[in-house]
């Protein structure tokens, strides 16, 4: 699947942007985020330090916007017939995971964003933080730490382990 996604980005944007920009964009996309960006960077043979910077920054860029604007946007979208079911579904899914964050607010948010499991990450973490009313001053640093935790864990899986395996 990663190869197909990378091929799509390269075919669609390849003549217009570099592989670095493709990795940066992948890291900003919900669901894929840093995890997908780091895998894509590895598959495109981007050196680790550059990949780490691109993926981290790409995953961090949307966070303030999510924290500041997701609640007003969702409120506005729920007023429309077309988007109300989708927004309610997203809110329900996010709040179903909120108990993991709510108990230990700051550290719960760090772990939720940082542990690379399906349905976790900065986008969902930002939505949960907004819906729980966690203040920006607390949510943003927690989510930044979470992104760097995710970077550490994903670096081990995408760069360190393959390197160690190649030695044998």
* Whether 156 contacts 114, CB under 8 Å: no
Task: Answer yes or no: is 167 within a domain.
Answer: no
Domain span holding position 108: 62-150
Rounded to whole angstroms, the Cα distance separating 163 from 168 reads 9
Tens-of-pLDDT digits for all 168 residues of the chain? Answer: 556 767 777 777 666 788 999 999 999 999 899 999 999 999 999 999 999 999 999 999 999 999 999 999 999 999 999 999 999 998 888 888 788 788 888 999 999 999 998 889 999 999 999 989 999 999 999 999 999 999 999 999 999 999 999 998
**Is 159 inside a domain boundary?**
no
Residue 96's CB is within 10 A of a number of other CB atoms, namely: 11
Distance in angstroms (rounded) separating the CA atoms of residues 29 and 36:
9
* Alpha-carbon distances of 128 from 35, 36, 47, 81, rounded to whole Å: 19, 21, 33, 23
Q: Are 67 and 128 contained in the same domain?
A: yes
- Considering the domain architecture, whether residues 115 and 80 belong to the same structural domain is answered as yes
The count of structural domains within the chain is 2
Contact call for residues 139 and 124 (beta carbons, < 8 A): no
List b or e across 10-46, with b for residues whose CB sees 16 or more CB atoms inside 10 angstroms.
Answer: eeeeeeeeebbebbbbbbbeeebbbbbbbbbbbebeb
Whether 96 is in a domain gets the answer: yes
Say whether both 108 and 32 belong to one domain.
Answer: no
């Amino acid at each position: 699947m990663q190869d197909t996604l990378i091929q799509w980005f390269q075919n669609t944007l390849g003549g217009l942007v570099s592989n670095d920009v493709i990795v940066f964009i992948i890291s900003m996309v919900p669901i894929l985020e840093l995890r997908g960006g780091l895998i894509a960077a590895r598959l495109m043979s981007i050196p680790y330090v550059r990949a780490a910077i691109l993926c981290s920054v790409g995953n961090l860029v949307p966070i303030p916007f999510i924290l500041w604007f997701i609640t007003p946007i969702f409120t506005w979208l729920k007023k429309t017939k077309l988007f109300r079911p989708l927004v309610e579904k997203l809110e329900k899914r996010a709040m179903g995971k909120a108990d993991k964050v709510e108990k230990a607010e700051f550290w719960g948010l760090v772990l939720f964003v940082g542990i690379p499991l399906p349905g976790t990450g900065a986008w969902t973490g930002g939505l949960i933080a907004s819906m729980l009313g966690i203040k920006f001053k607390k949510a943003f640093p927690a989510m930044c730490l979470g992104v760097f935790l995710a970077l550490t864990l994903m670096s081990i899986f995408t760069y360190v382990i393959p390197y160690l395996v190649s030695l044998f």
